């Protein structure tokens, strides 16, 4: 959004208000109701009264609504009122988010943050009331006067960092730091405004109402992780946006000013901006280094808190003779004093600095001893059909997958790196865009495959020879269909990678007993035209033959040299799954624990398909789900548990749900059980524990389709009544 709480003039499309009238004529009600665009809302509501607030002048707006300069008639003071647009007011989720954000922003009370006074509604209009700040937004300051000098940049940056530190201490993330949301007052103070995107960060028991896939923030200043998933935004995302804003102060333009919206997003994901010191030779080295660190692609490489940034900038100011805490004229604001914001003694830095020096010295000594000692190659470790060779470098150095391998740790494919990796190794993908990969075989090792800093890799598994062909060496009914990657008793972690399966009928990952899979901040794309659900058991003895992300067949493992755990573990953290298949298919004996925290699952099939077990498979299969703060749009229903004469032991489901949203087409059941027994035999096999979940669309919570009859159970008849809304909203994935 591009809202303004200062005295910036209204957009040209909006006519100026009547001269000196103290009471403005209200617009016709039908004009207000018909208003669609922000400008139309501004014209329709200018002069109206909402509660005690008289909307005197429309000053701007953005995606959520219009902003007015208004008068609080109760306290006789100017305020800024943001009015939510009609289309957003009609969206229950958006309205809840609007109110929660107001509550989050109201927690803040800082001299560099615009304060929130109230939130209310009248005549169907919902609004939030802010402090009105006299001044000019930073975007216009630079547009009129050019880039800022170093002194003003340092002062404003420290002030804004202090504001973010205050917000972070109260678990509030702004998520829309940009020049137009920073007001420079006549006193030379930077005030951060428009907390309209703010939210409290990961507080237990509180809904996070921003759905993944709804990218919030402005694309010239948005962090890479926030562009991928708004739920991933934390204070480090705000710091990235602040770095882009500091770049704007010094260069007069954002770091990636050219290109389309998509190109800008890709630049933020992949490319480094032109070094600020090459555009402004007068920028001190310490300030240039701080800007570069703020804009690191990997959040772990940035400043971890605003206080850390301030600690780096204060000595830069002192070295340049700039007293950021003293009254001093600014180069861009024709007034006056910079308010005292931050003063920090050098003394507290001495002890940790000396400690750091000792640690560094010790590490250098260890490294020197390692270089002087002969390298002892590790013995090869068996891993399926491939053997792990001796590492060419010392342990801890990651493999890198690049287009043209030249170094000793560089490989052209992940499969090559996996063939040589030892237990605990990391494989970094240092390429951008799609790359075809042969099947992966991590075997029983514990390995990590992650995107290298500054890269956005897309791993593509194409059709093997253009046909659905089982992988060599994979046997057993549960894993008979081909899979791109098989994880046995070891663990595989995927971090910040997009994986694209292009062949219908295959699984991306096949897990055997004891296998562990973690996908963090990653996206899995299944084919758009894949068969959604498994074939009925009557057609084949192997029902698990459809497209899915994870396939588990209990009791099958090639683990050697260690005892396999009977439990298989799958975790998705701030990740996304899309396509026409299902997420998890399970069969055989044993147990699988599946956790999904944040992110969204937008699939044409189901989240879970669990098939019954043969009598020789032990007690049957149990699936435990732990789901938190995520969205699930599954067009065939959420879970299907089935048994058959060939697999008569029915699966069991134990689910713990916290703050999730489920969207189902009409007529589909959230949970469906199909089998050869009477419905009463299946009732105890499902436990569903819910806290704050939302269920939209079909009114069938559970359907039990037994041998002779079918029973539908609605949400009100669940063991604990669940919150159900009959209107099916569009999913955030927008497939």
CATH code, domain carrying 84: 3.30.200.20
Q: Report which secondary-structure segment, H or E, holds 695.
A: strand 694-697
Same domain, 521 and 399: no
- Both tokens of 474, joined, read 């994979």
DSSP H helical ranges for 320-467: 347-372, 414-420
Domain presence at residue 189: yes
Domain presence at residue 402: yes
With left for phi above 0 and alpha for psi between -120 and 50, is residue 135 left, alpha or beta? left
pLDDT value at 398 more than 60: yes
Same domain, 594 and 567: yes
Domain presence at residue 252: yes
Backbone angles phi, psi at 138, to 5 degrees: -60, -35
pLDDT value at 601 more than 50: yes
Distance CA 12, CA 32 (A): 20
The DSSP line for 526-591 is --TTS--SPPPTTT-S----S-EEEEEETT-----SSPPPSEEEEEEEEEEEEESSEEEEEESSEE
220 closest CA partner among 190, 258, 192, 188: 258
Domain presence at residue 390: no
Same domain, 291 and 439: no
Same domain, 484 and 428: no
pLDDT at 647: 87
Q: Decide: helix, strand or coil at residue 116.
A: strand
Domain presence at residue 288: yes
Average pLDDT over residues 421-438: 92
Domain count, the chain: 4
Same domain, 528 and 425: no
**What letter does residue 193 receive in the DSSP assignment?**
-
Give the torsion sign (CA, 157, 158, 161, 163). Answer: negative
Q: How confident is the model at residue 65 (pLDDT cuts 50, 70, 90)?
A: confident
pLDDT at 624: 95
Best-predicted range by mean pLDDT among 352-366, 417-431, 453-467? 417-431
Same domain, 118 and 141: no
**What letter does residue 258 receive in the DSSP assignment?**
S
% of the chain with per-residue pLDDT over 90: 40
CB 515 within 8 A of CB 557: yes
Same domain, 502 and 628: yes
- Both tokens of 14, joined, read 């909006």
Distance CA 392, CA 613 (A): 46
pLDDT value at 37 more than 90: no
Average pLDDT over residues 125-135: 88
Q: How many helices (H) and strands (E) does the chain have?
A: 14, 42
CB 4 within 8 A of CB 81: no
Q: How confident is the model at residue 361 (pLDDT cuts 50, 70, 90)?
A: very low
pLDDT at 530: 52
Domain presence at residue 376: no
Per-residue CA distances from 585 to 193, 470, 642, 655 (Å): 48, 17, 11, 16
Same domain, 121 and 209: no
590 closest CA partner among 529, 496, 513, 498: 513
Vertex 202 angle, CA 455 and 101, to 5°:
100
Give the torsion sign (CA, 285, 291, 296, 301). Answer: positive
Distance CA 650, CA 674 (A): 9
Q: What is the CATH number of the domain that holds 171?
A: 1.10.510.10
Q: How confident is the model at residue 661 (pLDDT cuts 50, 70, 90)?
A: very high
Same domain, 294 and 209: yes
Average pLDDT over residues 451-464: 86
232 closest CA partner among 253, 217, 218: 217
Average pLDDT over residues 60-73: 81
pLDDT value at 158 more than 90: yes
Same domain, 186 and 127: no
536, 541, 546, 550: CA torsion to nearest 10: 120
pLDDT value at 633 more than 50: yes
- The residue behind tokens 């959040």 is 299
251 closest CA partner among 215, 288, 224: 288
pLDDT value at 342 more than 70: no
- What digits encode the pLDDT tens for the residues 499-554? 999 888 889 999 988 899 999 999 999 988 754 344 333 333 344 447 899 998 76
pLDDT value at 283 more than 50: yes
Q: Of 406, 431, 461, which one is at a domain's C-terminal end?
A: 461
Strand 483-487 and strand 507-511: the pairing is parallel
Same domain, 646 and 670: yes
Domain presence at residue 10: no
Distance CA 216, CA 64 (A): 11
Q: How confident is the model at residue 195 (pLDDT cuts 50, 70, 90)?
A: low
Q: Domain of 209?
A: 136-319
Same domain, 167 and 119: no
Q: Of 300, 319, 338, which one is at a domain's C-terminal end?
A: 319
514 closest CA partner among 487, 551, 540, 478: 487
The pLDDT mean for the chain works out to 76
**What letter does residue 224 receive in the DSSP assignment?**
H
Domain presence at residue 324: no
CA 39 to chain centre: 31
Low-confidence winner among 262-266, 435-439, 549-553, 605-609 (lowest mean pLDDT): 262-266
Q: Of 131, 157, 182, which one is at a domain's C-terminal end?
A: 131
Q: How confident is the model at residue 721 (pLDDT cuts 50, 70, 90)?
A: confident
């Amino acid at each position: 959004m591009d809202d303004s709480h200062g005295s910036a003039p209204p957009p040209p499309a909006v006519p100026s208000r009547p001269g000196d009238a103290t009471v403005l004529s209200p617009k016709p009600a039908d004009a207000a109701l018909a208003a669609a665009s922000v400008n139309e809302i501004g014209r329709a509501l200018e002069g109206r009264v909402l509660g005690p607030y008289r909307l005197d002048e429309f000053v701007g707006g953005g995606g959520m609504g219009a902003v007015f300069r208004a008068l609080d008639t109760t306290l006789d003071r100017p305020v800024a009122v943001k009015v939510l647009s009609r289309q957003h007011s009609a969206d229950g989720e958006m309205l809840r988010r609007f109110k929660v954000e107001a509550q989050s922003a109201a927690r803040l009370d800082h001299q560099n943050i615009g304060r929130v006074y109230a939130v209310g509604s009248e005549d169907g209009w919902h609004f939030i009331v802010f402090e009105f700040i006299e001044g000019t937004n930073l975007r216009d300051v630079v547009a009129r006067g050019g880039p800022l000098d170093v002194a003003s940049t340092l002062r404003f940056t420290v002030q804004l960092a202090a504001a973010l530190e205050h917000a972070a201490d109260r678990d509030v993330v702004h998520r829309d730091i940009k020049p137009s949301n920073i007001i420079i007052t006549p006193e030379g103070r930077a005030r951060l405004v428009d907390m309209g995107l703010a939210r409290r960060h990961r507080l237990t028991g509180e809904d996070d109402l921003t759905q993944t896939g709804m990218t919030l923030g402005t694309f010239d200043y948005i962090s890479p992780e926030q562009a991928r998933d708004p739920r991933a935004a934390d204070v480090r995302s705000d710091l990235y946006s602040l770095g882009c804003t500091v770049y704007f102060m010094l260069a007069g333009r954002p770091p990636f000013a050219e290109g389309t919206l998509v190109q800008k997003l890709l630049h933020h994901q992949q490319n480094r901006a032109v070094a600020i010191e090459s555009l402004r030779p007068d920028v001190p080295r310490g300030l240039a280094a701080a800007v570069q660190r703020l804009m690191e692609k990997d959040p772990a490489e940035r400043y971890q808190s605003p206080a850390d940034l301030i600690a780096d900038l204060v000595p830069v100011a002192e070295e340049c003779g700039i007293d950021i805490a003293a009254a001093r004229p600014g180069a861009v604001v024709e007034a006056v004093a910079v308010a005292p914001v931050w003063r920090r003694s050098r003394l507290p830095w001495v002890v940790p600095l000396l400690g750091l020096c000792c640690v560094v010295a010790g590490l250098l000594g260890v490294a020197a001893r390692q270089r002087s000692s002969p390298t002892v190659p590790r013995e090869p470790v068996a891993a399926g059909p491939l053997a792990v060779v001796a590492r060419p470098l010392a342990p801890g150095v990651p493999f890198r997958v690049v287009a043209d391998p030249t170094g000793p740790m560089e490989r052209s494919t992940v499969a090559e790196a996996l063939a040589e990796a030892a237990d605990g190794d990391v494989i970094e993908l240092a390429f951008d865009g799609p790359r075809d990969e042969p099947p992966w075989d991590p075997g029983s090792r514990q390995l990590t495959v992650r995107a290298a800093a500054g890269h956005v890799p897309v791993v593509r598994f194409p059709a093997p020879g253009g046909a659905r062909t089982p992988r060599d060496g994979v046997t057993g009914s549960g894993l008979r269909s081909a899979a791109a990657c098989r994880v046995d008793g070891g663990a595989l972690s995927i971090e910040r990678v997009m994986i694209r399966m292009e062949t219908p009928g295959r699984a991306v990952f096949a897990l055997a007993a004891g296998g562990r899979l973690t996908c963090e901040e990653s996206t899995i794309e299944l084919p758009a035209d894949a068969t959604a659900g498994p074939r009925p058991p009557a057609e084949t003895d192997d029902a698990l033959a459809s497209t899915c992300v994870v396939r588990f067949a209990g009791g099958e493992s090639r683990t050697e040299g260690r005892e396999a755990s009977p439990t298989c573990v799958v975790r998705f953290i701030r990740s996304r799954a899309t396509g026409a298949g299902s997420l998890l298919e399970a069969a055989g004996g044993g147990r699988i624990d599946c956790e999904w925290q944040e992110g969204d699952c937008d699939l044409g099939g189901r989240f879970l398909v669990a098939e019954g077990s043969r009598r020789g498979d032990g007690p049957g299969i149990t699936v435990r789900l732990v789901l938190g703060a995520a969205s699930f749009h599954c067009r065939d229903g959420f879970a299907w548990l089935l048994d058959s004469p060939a697999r008569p032991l029915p699966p069991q489901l134990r689910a713990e749900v916290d703050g999730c949203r489920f969207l189902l087409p009409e007529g589909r059941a959230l949970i469906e059980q199909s089998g050869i027994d009477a419905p009463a035999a299946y009732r105890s096999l499902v436990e569903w524990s819910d806290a704050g979940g939302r269920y939209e669309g079909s009114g069938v919570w559970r359907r039990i389709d037994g041998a002779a009859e079918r029973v539908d159970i609605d949400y009100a008849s669940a063991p604990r009544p669940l919150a159900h809304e009959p209107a099916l909203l569009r999913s955030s994935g927008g497939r």
